[in-house]
Amino acid sequence: MIEFERAGKTYPDGTVAVGEFSLRIPSHTTTVLLGSSGCGKTTLLRMVNRMVDPTSGRVLIDGEDVAQEAPVALRRRIGYVMQNSGLLPHRRVIDNIATVPRLTGMPRGAAHERARELMRTVGLDSGLARRYPGQLSGGQQQRVGVARALASDPNILLMDEPFGAVDPLVRMELQRELRRLQTQLRKTILFVTHDIDEALALGDQIVVLQPGGQIAQAGTPEEIVAAPANDFVARFLGLDAGRRSLRARPQPGGGWLVSDAGGRPLGVLPDDPAREGPG
């Protein structure tokens, strides 16, 4: 379990990135921090592995203040995935994945064995092991990033817009893979994004942030879509523009054409959804 207790961060230049932030993140669940650029998401995420130290309040992991832990050791047992993967360009894929096991003293052979196993876990062809990151596609690089973060079998996974730099198709594919992985691995994931669809797709809990790291609303995806706490959340979700209120109209050939409040078509619903089973 991760707890933020009135955590705040004011950077040396006076920027108040996070005013005062309190949140409880249950173990084995995915919590998504959702907010627009500059609202303090990265800052919050980095408070967990002490890449950023809060200037007020504290962050606890399983009841222990992270400030009491040595940053380097802490980071080695927390996975971190970032946008553009942050891979080391001068190391082969396999060595990138083996980074943390090697740092913690695992012999090279064993670390590589572990890395190969992880490549299978994240769905990477083993033929890519000897490539350099620059020789991979963006989607493959992100998978390597995820594999690297999983290498020390951490309980906590911090993901900072990990799928922000790939095209929508690959992005959806990666989201699906992450969901599959999560049912298997059951990590405590803290996931940052500014994409509402991604948040709805991945989050057990979604935290909508306003500038300064203020919580506009926290809840399950259903709660947030069904009852946005205020105008800010509604605008962010696109609810005010009717993007998520749907209408269905019978089609001549059977079935229903579904469109949003603005009349833009979204898809087709089969005649009797009950008989088709849940899609």
Ligand X SMILES: Nc1ncnc2c1ncn2[C@@H]1O[C@H](COP(=O)(O)OP(=O)(O)OP(=O)(O)O)[C@@H](O)[C@H]1O
Instruction: Give me the least distance between CB of 98 and other proteins, in Å please.
Output: 11
Cα–Cα nearest to 144, from 198, 99, 183? 99
CB closer to other proteins out of 73 and 274: 73
CB closer to other proteins out of 61 and 206: 61
H/E run at residue 269: strand 265-269
CB closer to ligand X out of 35 and 162: 35
Query: Is there a contact between 239 and 227 (Cβ–Cβ < 8 Å)?
Result: no
CA angle 268, 273, 279 (to 5 degrees): 75
Instruction: Kindly state whether residue 42 participates in binding Mg ion, applying the rule CB under 5 A.
Output: yes
CA angle 81, 39, 22 (to 5 degrees): 85
Question: Distance between CA atoms of 197 and 244, rounded to whole angstroms?
Answer: 11
Contacting residues toward other proteins, per CB under 8 A = 49, 51, 72-77, 80, 82, 84-92, 99-100, 103, 132-135, 148, 158
Instruction: Give me the least distance between CB of 103 and other proteins, in Å please.
Output: 6
| Cα 12 versus chain centre, distance | 28
Instruction: Kindly state whether residue 13 participates in binding ligand X, applying the rule CB under 6 A.
Output: yes
The residue count for the chain: 279
- The torsion region of residue 182 among left (phi > 0), alpha (psi -120 to 50) and beta comes to alpha
| Candidates 39-47, 67-75, 130-138, 180-188; binding stretch for Mg ion (CB under 5 A) | 39-47
84 binds, among ligand X, other proteins, Mg ion, none (CB under 5 to 8 A by kind): other proteins
Instruction: Give me the least distance between CB of 89 and other proteins, in Å please.
Output: 4
| Candidates 34-42, 183-191, 202-210, 226-234; binding stretch for Mg ion (CB under 5 A) | 34-42
Q: DSSP code of 267?
A: E
Instruction: Kindly state whether residue 50 participates in binding ligand X, applying the rule CB under 6 A.
Output: no
Instruction: Give me the least distance between CB of 16 and Mg ion, in Å please.
Output: 16
Instruction: Kindly state whether residue 49 participates in binding ligand X, applying the rule CB under 6 A.
Output: no
Question: Distance between CA atoms of 168 and 106, rounded to whole angstroms?
Answer: 37
Strand partners, 5: 58
Query: Is there a contact between 43 and 20 (Cβ–Cβ < 8 Å)?
Result: no
| Candidates 19-27, 42-50, 85-93, 241-249; binding stretch for Mg ion (CB under 5 A) | 42-50
Instruction: Kindly state whether residue 43 participates in binding Mg ion, applying the rule CB under 5 A.
Output: no
Instruction: Give me the least distance between CB of 43 and ligand X, in Å please.
Output: 3
Instruction: Kindly state whether residue 194 participates in binding ligand X, applying the rule CB under 6 A.
Output: yes
Instruction: Kindly state whether residue 40 participates in binding ligand X, applying the rule CB under 6 A.
Output: yes
Instruction: Kindly state whether residue 17 participates in binding ligand X, applying the rule CB under 6 A.
Output: yes
Q: How many CA atoms lie within 13 A of 216 on its CB side?
A: 23
How would you classify the pairing of strands 2-10 and 16-25? antiparallel
Instruction: Give contact residues for ligand X (rule: CB under 6 A).
Output: 11, 13, 15, 17, 35, 37-43, 194
